[in-house]
Chains A and B, each alone.
Chain A
Amino acid sequence: MQGLLIETVRCANIGPINLTIEPEQCIGLSGDSGSGKTRLLRTIADLDPHEGLISVNNTEQSAIPGSQWRTWVGLLSSEIAWWYESVGMHFMRWPAELIESVGFSQSIKDQEVARLSSGEKQRLGFARLLALQPTVLLLDEPTANLDRQNRARIESIVHEYQLLGASVLWVSHDPNQIRRVCSKHVRLNQGQLEVIDTVPARSD
């Protein structure tokens, strides 16, 4: 089984969760605040203790170290943390092209993190994660702080990346966005996943 496979996963008051995200597929996840969407993403990234099986391209989570797992399964949290002074220090390798495609000039590299707006932090955090080329992308409201133009930028970058074979789980409160970017919509309700609808893959 290729892609991301989640079988009978339980964590705190969530589960059992079963979900498959195939390569090149993007699934939208919604749910009331407090329903455990973030918790579920953290579980898939193996940041919280849990039960059940999770695998990527036939490799089970427990078969490799946690840090290696998280280079395959990239989680973009809704609050993106920075720990050094300047933007550039947070990158192992500066992804010049990607930085431009999320709407920055190269001079952002030397910018102080403290002077970034929340939207800028979100786009740079997105670039920071995508530069590592994870097989699975877990996006927790990645466009929550963005204007229309930047939202469109992120959506199209994710779509292109997905076509390279990535599996994407996209948390959003906006049903229109889910319809735009996802081929399937699931909702987390009282610890269970329910399928809302399956939309045909968009044709572009």
Chain B
Amino acid sequence: MHVIPLSAFDLGLAAFLVLLLAALSIPMRLALSKTLLIAASRAIVQLLLLGLVLKTVFILNDPVWIALIALVMLSVAGYEVMARQQRKFLGLWAYGIGTSAMFVSAFSVTLLALTVIINIEPWYAPRYLIPLLGMLLGNTMNGISLTLDRLTEDAYRQRDSIEARLMLGHTSGQAIEHIRRNALRAGLMPLINAMATAGIVSLPGMMTGQLLGGSPPLEAAKYQILIFLLIAAGSGFGAMGAVWLAEKRLFDERERLRLDRLRTP
């Protein structure tokens, strides 16, 4: 089993397709070509750099470097969650809520997978830790940012119904229950859909990679199942944690709705 190496020409050919798409979008006035090209260039540069960094880290196998990379991944994901919020919390909460929820869920699930499920020695072996953490952080990030965005937006738009429930003596948790339910649904629905159609409509990215890399199909499928289940648990717990923290901030100690703690977009 070995991977057929890709040459610069191979990648250039693929890049040409994107250039073509960008060129086509100019006469169609889609106002897309610039963002498309920037995003594509970012992906190319970031992934090449990641490849180089990982190459070094895999050779060094040093926990300090691995921890550093994990930290960078977490802080970028935390920033991304914050950037996707229309109504951010004021102050450090905007960054803190998403990042801490993501930290707790993604890191503990990854740890569990490495030590108990895959059970490799040492548990921090970067060839396993970094891709696993990346998958978990990336998906948890999506789940949390969708959930939080929906929660704060709906809390703002439906403040009357939340306060009407408070006026009837509901606790803050009861008063926001109908909004929390929709927010969690919105946050986890993409993942639920992806799992439901996995293998029939779409071939998941990771499994595709493993197949191209020459892994036996059944092994690739088993890894993909593991990843899906871990992602589901990680995003679910992450989104719940984020909602829990956000609710603590949306209400004060007197269980008043405090929308003044949100920034207007």
Contacts and interface: CB of A to CB of B under 8 A. Distances in A.
Contacts of B165: 83
Interface string A13-54: 000000000000000000000000000000001111100000
Interface stretch (A1-9, A69-77, A178-186): A69-77
Interface in A50-104: 62, 65-68, 70-71, 74-77, 79-84
Interface stretch (B139-147, B205-213, B248-256): B248-256
B167 A77 contact: yes
A132 interface: yes
A129 interface: yes
B254 A66 contact: yes
A187 interface: no
B255 A67 contact: yes
A114 to B, nearest CB: 13
B168 A129 contact: yes
A66 B254 CA distance: 5
B260 to A, nearest CB: 9
Interface string B169-182: 11110100010000
A84 B168 CA distance: 15
B158 A83 contact: yes
B169 A81 contact: no
Contacts of A79: 160
Contacts of A123: none
Given A46-B256, A49-B252, A83-B178, A70 B168 contact: yes
Given A67-B169, A132-B169, A81 B256 contact: no
Nearest to B163: A47
Contacts of A74: 167-169
Contacts of B167: 45, 47, 70, 74-77, 129
Given A83-B158, A84-B178, A66 B256 contact: yes
A62 B255 CA distance: 12
Contacts of A129: 167-168
A75 B161 CA distance: 13
Nearest to B256: A47
Contacts of B170: 67
Interface string B236-264: 00000000000000001111110000000
B138 to A, nearest CB: 34
Task: Pick the most buried of A48, A82, A83, A129: most chain B CB atoms within 10 A of its CB.
Answer: A83
Given A82-B161, A83-B178, A132 B168 contact: yes
Contacts of B164: 77, 80-83
Contacts of A132: 168-169
Interface string B151-168: 000000010110111111
Nearest to B171: A67
Contact of A81 (B161, B171, B252, B253): B161
Nearest to B159: A81
Contacts of A80: 164
The list of the 8 closest CB pairs from A to B, nearest first, reads A71-B169, A66-B255, A81-B164, A83-B161, A66-B254, A81-B160, A81-B161, A67-B171
A47 B172 CA distance: 11
A80 B161 CA distance: 8
Nearest to A65: B255
B169 A70 contact: yes
B132 to A, nearest CB: 41
Contacts of B257: 47
Given A65-B171, A66-B255, A82-B161, 16 more contacts: A46-B256, A48-B256, A49-B252, A67-B166, A67-B169, A70-B168, A71-B168, A76-B167, A77-B167, A79-B160, A80-B164, A83-B161, A83-B165, A129-B167, A129-B168, A132-B169
Contacts of B169: 67-68, 70-71, 74, 132
13 contacts: A45-B167, A47-B163, A48-B256, A49-B252, A67-B171, A70-B168, A70-B169, A83-B164, A83-B178, A128-B168, A129-B168, A132-B168, A132-B169
Given A49-B252, A67-B255, A81 B168 contact: no
A155 B101 CA distance: 51
Task: Pick the most buried of A47, A70, A79: most chain B CB atoms within 10 A of its CB.
Answer: A70
A84 B177 CA distance: 11
A71 B171 CA distance: 10
A74 B170 CA distance: 11
